C-alpha cells in the first residue's frame, strides 16, 4: 500500500526583493498512516514550510507530492480546498480561533466548507473527546490558552481527517497545558489518526514515535522509535472540488456579515449613510410621482377620457395665434365627432372680498341650457356643489355672476360660506351663485383658487378680449377621441387656410396625450433628482469599498484560517460580497423608509398622498444590491486572492 504522504525531491524558494531564501532543498520524506511524526529543527530550518506543503497550504517549486497514492501537482485551487476541508486537520500555534465566537461554533467552522452541512452533535462529541464538554458555550476570550488549543484540536478532528498537521501546538502554552495538549494528541494517535507535529522542543518530540530533523532546508536525520509493522497503510480517493454553496455555508456567511457589521456599529452607520440618503431621495421622488399619477387617474372619469383640448401652439420668439368664435363654429360644422364644443377664456386676476385680496385663476364658460333640464353644466356634473352654475341666458346677458371653487371660497370667506356673497374681479362686482369642490388637478397642486364666470361677461366686462385661450371638445366615447382629434385638425387647417405641408399653429391633445405629457415632464424633473441622488449613491459606494478594504486588512488572519480549513477562493469572495450587499441592503431598506416619510412630508404642501408600490421597493433593494456587488467586488477579490500562509502570518 502507498504511504499517506510521499514527498520526493521537493524544493521551495522564497524571494523577498533581491534576497532569495531556499527554505527546502530537494527534501524527500514518506509518512505512513497512523504515524506520530515530529519535524524538529531550529528557526529557519524549513520545518514549517514542509508542513505547509504537506497540508496543501503552499506549493513546492520543484519535486513531486503524492497524497494517499495520488499525485497533487496538477490539482486546482478548488480541489486542494476540498482536500484541506475533508482530509487534513490543522492545529496552529496561535490557535486562530474566531473572536467572540463560542467553542462549539469554532469547532463547526470546517463543516461549513465541506458542502455537506453542519452537525452540532459531531462538534459536541469532538469537544467531549478533548475534555471540553463543560466549555461548549464559552467564547474564545473566556478560555485559557490550553483550552483554546484543545478547541483547535477538536476543530481539526470534526471532519474526520486522514492526517492532522500541528504547527508548534504547544509553543504558547505553559508546562501543564503543554502536557495536557500532547496527551490529547497522543490519545488521538493511539486511535489510529496520523499526526505530524512541527516543534523545536525536544521534550515534545520525545513524546512522538518518529523524529525528523531539518537544518538549512534539508533533512539531516530521521529516527523511528516504533517498528514499521505498528503503523497501518491508507488509501483514499481525493474528494472532488465543490461547484456550489451549501445552505449552511450561506447562513454562515450571513452570520459573519452581520457580526462584522454589529462589531463596528458606528463605522457601519457612517458607511451606509450615502446609500441611505441616495435611495431615500430616489424613493421619495418615485412615491410622489406615482402618487401624482394615481391621483390624476383615480380622479379622472369616462368624461375626461372623451375630452380633446385645442390650444395655441407656443413657439419660441413668436406670439401664439389665439382662437376666435369662427374656429369654434368650424369645429362644430366640420368635425362630426365633436359632440360638445366649449370655448374658454382664462386669466390670472386679483379677486377681492372685503379687505381680502387673492390672486386667483378666472375661467369663463358658456353655462348650461335650462331647456335641457340639467342641474349643472357638464363641467360640474361629477363635482359636489353648493348653489348652482350660471345659465346660458346669464351668459348672453353678460350677467355678473360667479361660481367659486372650495379653495377660493375658504380664502375669501373664513367660514367657506360664499353663497350669495359679493366679490370683486378686476374691480368689477360679482354675485357668488355657487361653490364647487376643487377639481382633482387643483387638489394635486395644493388647492389652486379658481373662479368661473360666463364667457360673454369675461370677454366684454372683465378681460376686454374676444380671443379664446383654448377650446374644450367632447367626443361621444373615449374610443372616438383620436378620430375626433383628427377631424378637429382638418377643420382648423381649412378654417385658417394652412397650406399643405405647413406646420399647424395650434395643438390638439387628447386626455391620453395629456397624461403622457405629464409623465414626460415628471421624467425630466426626475432626471435632475436622480442625478443628485446618483452622486450620493456614488459617494456611498466609495464608502462601501473603503470600509470593505479596511475589513479585509483587519481580518487577514481570519481569511487565512478559513482557507486553511477548506474555504475556496470563491467562498472568501462571496463572504465579503455578501457583507457589502448586506450593508447596502440595510441602507436601501432605511432609504425606503426615508423616501416614503419625505413623500408624506410633501403631502402637506402638494396634497398628494405618496404611493409605495412593490416595484418601487424592488427597485430600491435591487439597486442597493447592485451597488454592494459593484463596489464590494474589488475588496472581496483582494481577500479571495490572499495566500493562506501569508494571511496566517499577518500581524
Q: In this predicted structure, what is the pLDDT of residue 373?
A: 44
- Angle, helix 511-554 to helix 556-564, in steps of 10 degrees: 80
CB neighbourhood size of 620 (10 A) = 24
In this prediction, residue 229 carries a pLDDT of 46
| pLDDT above 60 (res 230) | no
Average pLDDT over residues 311-319: 73
Residue 132's Cβ-side half-sphere holds a number of Cα atoms within 13 Å equal to: 33
pLDDT band at 430 (very low <50, low <70, confident <90, very high): very high
DSSP 327-377: HHHHHHHH-TT--EEEEEEEEEEEEEETTEEEEEEEEEE--B-GGGT-SS-
Cα distance between residue 365 and residue 359, in whole Å: 20
Evaluate whether 58 touches 132 at the Cβ level (below 8 Å). Answer: no
155 three-class SS = helix
13 pLDDT higher than 60? yes
Cα dist. 420→124, 324, 416, 439 in Å?
89, 33, 12, 22
Which residues make beta-bridge pairs with 143?
none
Q: Which of 86, 109, 82, 91 is nearest to 259 (CA)?
A: 109
| DSSP type of residue 391 | B
Element housing 213 (H / E): strand 210-215
Other Cβ atoms less than 10 A from the Cβ of 357: the count is 13
- pLDDT one-digit tens code per residue, 244-275: 767 777 888 888 888 888 888 888 888 888 88
Query: Would you tell me the crossing angle of helices 481-496 and 325-334 to the nearest 10 degrees?
Result: 130
Residues 145, 177: Cα–Cα separation, whole Å: 8
Residue 522: Cβ within 10 Å count: 16
Dist. CA 29–CA 67, nearest whole Å: 12
In eight-state DSSP terms, residue 563 is H
pLDDT band at residue 429, thresholds of 50, 70 and 90? Answer: very high
- Label the pairing between strands 194-199 and 36-40: parallel
Pairing of strands 36-40, 210-215: parallel
Give the pLDDT band (50/70/90) at residue 597: confident
Task: Tell me which of 67 and 299 has the higher pLDDT.
Answer: 67
Among 199-213, 503-517, 570-584, the range scoring the smallest mean pLDDT is: 503-517
Q: Averaged over 343-368, what is the pLDDT?
A: 88
Instruction: Reply yes or no on whether the pLDDT at 170 is more than 70.
Output: yes
- Are the C-beta atoms of 621 and 69 separated by less than 8 Å? no
User: Is the torsion defined by CA of 405, 409, 412, 418 positive or negative?
Assistant: positive
Residues in the chain: 651
Closest to 164 in 3D by CA, of 318, 38, 69, 328: 38
Q: How far apart are CA 209 and CA 236, in angstroms?
A: 24
Residue among 620, 625, 634 at smallest CA distance from 546: 634
Positive/negative CA dihedral, 623, 626, 630, 631: positive
Residue where the block lists cell 529557519:
44
Which residues sit opposite 363 in a β-bridge?
346, 452
State residue 423's pLDDT score: 93
pLDDT in tens, 126-157: 998 888 899 999 988 889 888 898 899 999 99
Mean of pLDDT over the chain: 84
Beta strand segments in 32-183, E: 36-40, 62-67, 70-71, 88-91, 163-167
3-state secondary structure of 102: strand
End-to-end CA distance of the chain: 43
Greatest alpha-carbon pair distance for the chain in Å reads 129
Which residue from 338, 116, 131, 126 is spatially nearest to 245, judged by alpha carbons? 116
Q: What is the DSSP secondary structure assignment for residue 459, as one 8-state letter?
A: I
Pairing type for strands 385-387 and 356-365 reads unpaired
Helix (H) or strand (E) holding 550: helix 511-554
What mean pLDDT do residues 587-599 have? 86
Instruction: Report which of 117, 14, 105 is spatially closest to residue 61, judged by C-alpha positions.
Output: 14
Domains of the chain, each with CATH number or no CATH: 5-241 (3.40.50.300), 258-298+516-649 (no CATH), 302-510 (no CATH)
Nearest Cα neighbor of 508 from 546, 481, 526 is 481
pLDDT at 375: 43
Q: Which of 432-441, 546-555, 602-611 has the lowest mean pLDDT?
A: 602-611
- pLDDT mean over 65-92: 89
Lay out the sheet containing 5-16: strands in order across: 19-31, 5-16, 62-67, 70-71
Q: Phi/psi of residue 383, each to 5°?
A: -120, 135
Angle at 130 between CA 127 and CA 132, to 5 degrees: 55
Average pLDDT over residues 62-72: 91
As given in the structure block, the three cell numbers for residue 628 are: 454592494
Long-range CB pairs of 544-547, under 8 A, 24+ apart, other chains included: 544/271, 544/275, 544/580, 544/583, 544/584, 544/627, 544/628, 544/631, 544/632, 545/631, 545/632, 545/634, 545/635, 546/271, 547/267, 547/268, 547/271, 547/583
**By C-alpha distance, which of 470, 565, 61, 540 is closest to 274?**
540
CA 45 – CA 59 distance, rounded (Å)? 17
pLDDT at 370: 57
DSSP code, position 461: I
Amino acid at each position: 500500500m502507498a504511504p499517506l504522504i510521499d514527498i520526493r525531491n521537493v524544493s521551495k524558494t522564497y524571494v523577498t526583493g533581491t534576497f532569495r531564501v531556499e527554505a527546502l532543498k530537494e527534501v524527500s520524506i514518506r509518512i505512513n498512516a497512523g504515524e506520530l511524526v515530529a519535524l524538529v529543527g531550529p528557526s529557519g530550518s524549513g520545518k514549517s514550510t514542509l508542513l505547509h506543503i504537506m497540508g496543501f497550504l503552499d506549493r513546492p517549486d520543484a519535486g513531486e507530492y503524492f497524497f494517499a497514492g495520488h499525485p497533487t501537482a496538477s490539482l486546482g485551487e478548488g480541489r486542494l480546498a476540498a482536500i484541506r476541508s475533508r482530509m487534513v486537520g490543522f492545529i496552529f500555534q496561535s490557535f486562530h480561533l474566531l473572536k467572540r465566537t463560542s467553542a462549539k461554533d469554532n469547532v463547526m467552522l470546517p463543516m461549513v466548507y465541506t458542502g455537506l452541512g453542519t452537525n452540532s452533535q459531531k462538534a459536541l462529541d469532538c469537544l467531549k473527546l478533548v475534555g471540553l464538554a463543560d466549555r461548549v458555550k464559552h467564547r474564545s476570550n473566556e478560555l485559557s490558552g490550553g483550552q483554546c488549543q484543545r478547541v483547535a484540536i477538536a476543530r481539526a478532528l470534526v471532519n474526520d481527517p486522514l492526517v492532522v498537521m500541528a504547527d508548534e501546538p504547544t509553543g504558547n502554552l505553559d508546562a501543564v497545558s503543554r502536557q495536557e495538549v500532547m496527551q490529547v494528541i497522543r490519545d488521538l494517535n493511539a486511535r489510529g489518526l496520523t499526526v505530524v507535529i512541527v516543534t523545536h522542543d525536544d521534550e515534545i518530540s520525545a513524546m512522538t514515535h518518529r523524529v525528523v530533523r531539518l537544518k538549512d532546508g534539508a533533512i539531516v536525520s530521521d529516527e523511528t522509535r516504533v517498528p514499521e509493522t505498528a503503523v497501518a497503510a491508507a488509501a483514499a480517493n481525493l474528494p472532488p472540488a465543490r461547484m456550489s454553496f451549501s445552505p449552511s455555508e450561506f447562513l454562515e456567511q450571513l452570520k459573519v456579515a452581520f457580526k462584522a457589521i454589529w462589531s463596528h456599529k458606528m463605522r457601519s452607520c457612517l458607511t451606509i449613510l450615502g446609500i441611505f440618503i441616495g435611495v431615500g431621495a430616489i424613493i421619495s421622488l418615485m412615491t410622489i410621482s406615482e402618487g401624482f399619477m394615481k391621483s390624476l387617474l383615480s380622479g379622472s372619469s369616462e368624461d375626461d377620457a372623451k375630452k380633446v383640448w385645442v390650444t395655441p401652439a407656443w413657439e419660441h420668439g413668436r406670439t401664439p395665434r389665439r382662437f376666435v368664435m369662427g374656429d369654434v363654429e368650424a369645429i362644430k360644422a366640420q368635425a362630426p365627432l365633436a359632440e360638445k364644443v366649449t370655448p374658454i377664456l382664462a386669466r390670472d386676476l386679483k379677486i377681492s372680498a372685503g379687505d381680502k385680496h387673492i390672486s386667483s385663476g378666472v375661467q369663463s364658460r358658456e353655462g348650461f341650457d335650462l331647456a335641457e333640464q340639467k342641474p349643472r353644466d357638464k363641467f360640474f356634473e361629477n363635482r359636489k356643489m353648493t348653489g348652482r352654475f350660471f345659465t346660458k341666458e346669464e351668459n348672453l346677458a353678460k350677467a355678473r355672476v360667479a361660481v367659486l371653487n372650495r379653495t377660493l371660497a375658504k380664502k375669501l370667506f373664513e367660514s367657506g360660506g360664499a353663497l350669495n356673497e359679493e366679490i370683486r374681479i378686476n374691480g368689477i362686482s360679482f354675485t357668488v351663485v355657487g361653490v364647487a369642490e376643487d377639481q382633482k388637478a387643483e387638489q394635486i397642486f395644493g388647492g389652486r383658487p379658481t373662479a368661473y364666470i360666463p364667457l360673454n361677461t369675461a370677454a366684454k366686462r372683465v378681460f376686454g378680449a374676444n380671443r379664446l385661450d383654448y377650446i374644450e371638445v367632447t367626443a361621444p366615447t373615449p374610443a372616438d377621441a383620436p378620430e375626433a382629434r383628427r377631424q378637429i385638425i382638418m377643420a382648423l387647417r381649412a378654417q385658417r387656410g394652412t397650406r399643405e405641408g405647413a406646420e399647424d399653429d395650434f395643438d390638439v391633445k387628447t386626455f391620453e396625450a395629456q397624461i403622457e405629457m405629464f409623465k414626460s415632464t415628471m421624467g425630466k424633473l426626475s432626471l435632475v433628482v436622480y442625478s443628485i441622488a446618483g452622486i450620493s449613491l456614488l459617494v456611498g459606494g466609495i464608502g462601501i469599498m473603503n470600509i470593505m478594504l479596511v475589513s479585509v486588512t483587519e481580518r487577514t488572519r481570519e481569511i487565512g484560517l478559513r482557507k486553511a480549513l477548506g474555504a475556496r477562493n470563491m467562498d472568501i469572495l462571496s463572504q465579503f460580497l455578501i457583507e457589502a450587499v448586506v450593508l447596502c441592503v440595510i441602507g436601501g431598506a432605511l432609504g425606503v423608509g426615508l423616501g416614503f416619510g419625505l413623500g408624506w412630508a410633501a403631502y402637506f404642501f402638494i396634497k398628494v398622498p405618496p404611493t409605495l408600490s412593490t416595484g418601487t421597493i424592488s427597485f430600491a433593494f435591487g439597486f442597493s444590491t447592485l451597488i454592494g456587488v459593484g463596489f464590494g467586488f474589488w475588496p472581496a477579490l483582494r481577500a479571495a486572492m490572499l495566500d493562506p500562509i501569508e494571511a496566517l502570518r499577518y500581524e
